[in-house]
């Protein structure tokens, strides 16, 4: 009995092309239509693992962890200086769902710096902020502003310790006027002291004490 051979079904060529086009594992630089470029690991056509992204429009660079196409894990974000073109680090720390999350350090224009906790891209939790004028705030943050308990130290070393709300002194607090040797303790509302007591505090060591001490009641 004669043997009949049937032609083997051939797979369409585009199937092979599609398999080769799939991004999975470690790949060399891949360019997007808008000129952005990514070098690193992929999973099912999504950036996943370790990788570096360069945005053509701004020149910004992110290098770190990715998860299903978004920055997630630990990484650093830098931008080029508009004059020198040298890269300046903007943020280093944790990320989640493409936003700052967890502990991280951010460098702002003018020399300001924040180190502490983040949530959904906003300063939230415990953190320390170094301001351009030399002031330092250390304490709790909520929705990108001081909120909760914290201390603000001014350049002249005077300081406030107490409650904060929406970035302003609010609730029970103490203001140490170390330059004058006085202490105000009371209640604050939206940065304004509403009630309290003022007493001498370290007046003998103050650089510019008041002319007369506060009488004791």
Q: Does the CA dihedral 161-133-181-187 come out positive or negative?
A: negative
Q: How confident is the model at residue 217 (pLDDT cuts 50, 70, 90)?
A: low
The overall average pLDDT reported for the chain is: 89
pLDDT band, very low/low/confident/very high, at 63 (cuts 50, 70, 90): very high
CA 72, 110, 146, 114 torsion-angle sign: positive
- Domains of the chain in sequence order: 20-106 (2.20.110)
Task: Return the minimum-mean-pLDDT range out of 29-33, 56-60, 129-133, 151-155.
Answer: 29-33
Residues 125-135: pLDDT tens digits? Answer: 999 999 999 99
pTM above 0.75, yes or no: yes
Indicate the pLDDT class of residue 17, thresholds 50, 70 and 90: very low
Looking at residue 14, its pLDDT comes to 41
Would the pLDDT of 216 be above 90?
A: no
**Could you report the per-residue pLDDT of 156-192, keeping only the tens digit for each?**
999 999 999 999 999 999 999 999 999 999 999 999 9
Q: What is the 3-state secondary structure (H, E, C) of the chain?
A: CCCCCCCCCCCCHHHHHHHHHCCCEEEEEEECCCCCEEEEEEECCEEEEEEEEECCCCCCEEEEEEECCEEEEEEEEEEECCCCCCEEEEEEEEEECCEEEEEEEEECHHHCEEEEEEECCEEEEEEEEECCCCCEEEEEEECCEEEEEEEEECCCCCEEEEEEECCEEEEEEEEEECCCCEEEEEEEECCEEEEEEEEECCHHHCCCCCCCCCCCC
pLDDT of residue 209: 82
Is a pLDDT exceeding 60 seen at residue 15? Answer: no
Rounded-to-integer distance, Cα 85 and Cα 76, Å? 18
pLDDT tens for 33-55 read 999 999 999 998 899 999 999 99
What band does 151 get if pLDDT is binned at 50, 70 and 90?
A: very high
What pLDDT is stored for residue 185 in this prediction? 96
């Amino acid at each position: 009995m004669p043997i009949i051979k049937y032609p083997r079904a051939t797979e369409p060529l585009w199937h092979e092309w599609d398999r080769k086009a799939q991004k999975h594992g470690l790949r060399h630089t891949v360019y997007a239509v808008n000129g952005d470029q990514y070098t690193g690991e992929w999973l099912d056509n999504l950036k996943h693992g370790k990788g570096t992204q360069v945005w053509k429009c701004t020149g910004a660079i992110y290098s770190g962890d990715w998860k299903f196409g978004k920055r997630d894990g630990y990484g650093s974000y830098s931008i080029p200086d508009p004059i020198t073109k040298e890269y300046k680090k903007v943020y280093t720390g944790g990320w989640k769902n493409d936003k700052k999350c967890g502990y991280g350090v951010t460098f702002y224009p003018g020399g300001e710096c924040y180190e502490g906790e983040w949530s959904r891209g906003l300063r939230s939790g415990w953190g320390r902020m170094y301001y351009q004028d030399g002031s330092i705030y250390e304490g709790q943050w909520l929705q990108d502003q001081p909120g909760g308990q914290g201390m603000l130290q001014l350049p002249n070393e005077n300081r406030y310790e107490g409650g904060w709300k929406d970035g302003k002194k609010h609730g029970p607090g103490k203001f140490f006027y170390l330059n004058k040797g006085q202490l105000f303790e009371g209640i604050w509302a939206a940065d304004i002291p509403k009630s309290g007591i003022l007493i001498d505090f370290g007046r003998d060591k103050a650089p510019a004490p008041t002319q007369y001490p506060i009488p004791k009641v």
